[in-house]
A = this chain, B = another copy of it.
């Protein structure tokens, strides 16, 4: 493929941006595919598109949600999303799952799990970008979020599972981070990865229905006590513990009320704007660090010595400082 002339490229990008702003879902899907592409040239195209759409982005409430497999995230998102689209909202559902395979991934890959929501004209569901590092997957999801906002989606749900550092990555791209738990009581927290509870702006005890209703109530009290032991991230917001049933729909409306209450509190104090500015700045530095490290690792002379030097360091035969200095010297052609 020969490279298109710059003018032609520009016109193409402008046209795609216009279609997205008009809410064209196929254009939106195409744009996200472009963002996720690793083909040469696509990075520049996707960057130009994002720059064009940036002024139209930002007008949504960005909600992160995590929980172990089996907690009922998909059923919850189906139920929560349907309530929102029926109230006139436009809801985009994205995912961060660095473990997802080419076959579709472990979360959101199977849209039939959100059958009704996925067919609703007010909803847009996109599985996790396949493959790549967490940094790469998170970056593409953040960019997809901006494009969805430009397309008029005013609620963005970003789902993740407890894999690696993915919760941290998601909490750093959203306005509010929800942790969904089972009615297992205090013991349940043991299954949650370190530090995740502390990222939560609200805890949702799901499956608070039928036989589990009483257990859910007890669990909510236990989580409430456990959260009380942690220092609040924000002085104006004490993370609440909610109960809901994604099956019966009970308590799901209260989750949305909590999201709105959180937004009001954060906007009033200026914490929301400050959080978004800090997130954008942190994202830039994360891109810089990733980019530098990627180029470092790809450098032929570095690549040629990296493994053996790292093995020497791990075995205690050379100091980390000396090894690092030598490798950086190779990278900079010294």
Can you tell how many copies of this chain the complex includes?
2
**CB-CB nearest in chain B for A309:** B284
A319 to B317, CA, bound (A): 43
Which residues in B have their C-beta under 8 angstroms from that of A315? 277
* Most B CB within 10 A of own CB, among A50, A143, A320: A320
A209 to B313, CA, bound (A): 46
CB <8 Å contact, B288 and A324: yes
- State the Cβ distance, A213 to closest chain B Cβ, in Å: 23
CB <8 Å contact, B189 and A229: yes
- Could you give, for residues 305-334 of chain A, a 1 whenever the CB lies within 8 Å of some chain B CB and a 0 otherwise? 000011001111111111111011001100
- Could you give, for residues 270-297 of chain A, a 1 whenever the CB lies within 8 Å of some chain B CB and a 0 otherwise? 0000001110110111111101110110
- State the Cβ distance, A142 to closest chain B Cβ, in Å: 8
A267 at interface, CB cutoff 8 A: no
Which residues in B have their C-beta under 8 angstroms from that of A318? 51, 54
CB <8 Å contact, A54 and B324: no
A229 to B291, CA, bound (A): 38
CB <8 Å contact, B190 and A194: no
Q: Give the contacts of A174-193 with B (CB-CB under 8 A).
A: 186, 189-193
CB <8 Å contact, A325 and B54: no
**CB-CB nearest in chain B for A226:** B229
CB <8 Å contact, B229 and A295: no
- Could you give, for residues 44-57 of chain A, a 1 whenever the CB lies within 8 Å of some chain B CB and a 0 otherwise? 00010011001001
Q: Give the contacts of A202-256 with B (CB-CB under 8 A).
A: 226, 228-231, 233
A190 to B194, CA, bound (A): 16
- State the Cβ distance, A55 to closest chain B Cβ, in Å: 8
Given contacts A229-B189, A230-B190, A281-B313, contact A291 B47 (CB under 8 A): no
Which residues in B have their C-beta under 8 angstroms from that of A231? 189-194
